[in-house]
Amino acid sequence: MTEFGCARCSGEDALTALAFCTTRLREIHRLVEKSHFSIALRVCPECRQAFAAIFTEFGDGTGGEDAQYFDFVPLTPAEVTTMAAQGSRVDLVRLGALGSLRRRLSSSWPRGKEKRIAWRTDTLSVREGY
């Protein structure tokens, strides 16, 4: 398991955890809301673990299937407070660093490739989509 979350929001099976996180986590604060980029703070109703939910889409202007990425980065209560205070000026570099240091739930769907849902611990670069 992990130091963050419970069996529902952070269980070993990434597909099951993603289904739970996308439907059951309660949004507590919306930081960024744009057509191709959003960041929301969400909390697990079971264990109260907070997450930054990051959605990014990269369009190429040709129509069709654009690349889409969705990450759930676990947060401490202090990090939630800091990010909520930052609002739309949330520090994307710091958020990426947190997602790079911690096990995060990731849905990655590059254009023309298969969707991959996994727990990841590699580098997370948070940048605005287009």
Distance between CA 86 and CA 76 in Å, rounded?
15
Distance between CA 128 and CA 54 in Å, rounded?
10
Q: What 3-state DSSP class applies to 67?
A: strand
Distance between CA 85 and CA 79 in Å, rounded?
10
Per-residue confidence in pLDDT tens, the chain, 130 aa: 458 999 999 999 999 999 999 999 999 999 999 989 999 999 999 999 999 999 999 986 666 678 999 999 999 999 999 999 999 999 999 999 999 999 999 999 988 889 999 999 999 999 998 8
Q: What are the angstrom distances between the C-alpha of 5 and each of 10, 13, 99, 121, 129?
A: 5, 13, 15, 16, 28
Per-residue tokens: 116: 């991959």
Q: Which residues are registered as beta bridge partners of 71?
A: 54, 106
Q: What 3-state DSSP class applies to 95?
A: helix
Predicted TM-score (pTM) of this structure: 0.91
The domain limits of the chain are 14-120
